[in-house]
Amino acid sequence: MGLTMSDENSILGGEKPLFPLLDIEDVLPILNDISIFAGLSDKQLSALFRLLEKAHYKAGEKIFEQGSQPSHIYVVQSGSIKLVVNARQTPLELIVFEKGQCFGETSVIGIQPHAATTIAVEDTELIVLPRSALLSLFKSDLELFSILLLNIAREACRRLHKTDEILLHYVLRKDVQ
């Protein structure tokens, strides 16, 4: 089996090789949990599945590092991923992503370096949408592209809201002390 363009880019970039997502049936059980795929028609899902790839990570392996350039959006198919920020030489675990949750999408859309490092907590399978594939939808299927971007924006807003609540909690707790 030959390498795909993403495989070559991944290997050249020091990342893990990606493989085509051959069996849509693998994704169907978690489809309702994947917020960025919400509201897509069967036809749109079919078009999207053709763009998706898979990656396997063993426990302890890094998916990407803080400060690296974003190239993919990731969805946890099985296993879990922790997001770690290195602040003042101290690694802080911020969140654990589990089955159906996505990560890397805000860096891809924001064209910003990754703000954190992601590490597999256990052996993990990821569904991967290459940035180049997402951007190709702009020309080939503007409606699908628009729905995906809207879903990604909603997910980013949910996380921002949650972060605001956490920050408010700490500010109020600090004022009480």
Q: Which residue has the higher pLDDT, 145 or 161?
A: 145
Predicted TM-score (pTM) of this structure: 0.80
Check residue 115 and report its DSSP letter. Answer: S
Which pair of tokens denotes residue 6? Answer: 């993403």
* Gyration radius from the chain CA atoms: 17
Looking at CATH, the fold of the domain delimited by 5-176 is given as Jelly Rolls (2.60.120)
Chain centroid to Cα 147, Å, comes to 16
Model confidence at 10: pLDDT above 50: no
Model confidence at 174: pLDDT above 90: no
One DSSP character per residue, 63-85 reads: EE-TTPPP-EEEEEEES-EEEEE
What are the pLDDT digits (tens) for 50-95? 999 999 999 999 999 999 999 999 999 999 999 998 877 777 778 8
The full set of domain ranges for the chain reads 5-176
What are the pLDDT digits (tens) for 18-60? 887 777 777 777 777 888 999 999 899 889 989 999 999 999 9
Q: What is the pLDDT of residue 8?
A: 37
Closest CA to 34 of 129, 83, 102: 102
Contacts of 152 (CB under 8 A, 6+ apart): 36, 73, 105, 106, 109
What are the pLDDT digits (tens) for 99-154? 999 999 988 888 889 989 999 999 999 999 999 999 999 999 999 999 999 999 99
Determine contact, residues 81/127, Cβ cutoff 8 Å.
no
Average model confidence (pLDDT) for the chain?
A: 83
Query: Which residue in this structure is represented by tokens 């974003």?
Result: 70
Determine contact, residues 104/74, Cβ cutoff 8 Å.
yes
